[in-house]
Amino acid sequence: MLMSYNTNAEVQELMDRFDWYFLPIANPDGYEYTHTNVNAASGGAYDWAKAVAGIKYSYTYELRPDGNAWNGFVVSENEIEPSGEEVWASLAAVAAEL
User: What amino acid positions are annotated as catalytic residues?
Assistant: 62
Q: Measure Cα distances from 98 to 17, 43, 56 in Å.
A: 8, 26, 11
Helix (H, G, I), strand (E, B) or coil at 43: coil
* CA of residue 79 relative to chain centroid, distance: 18
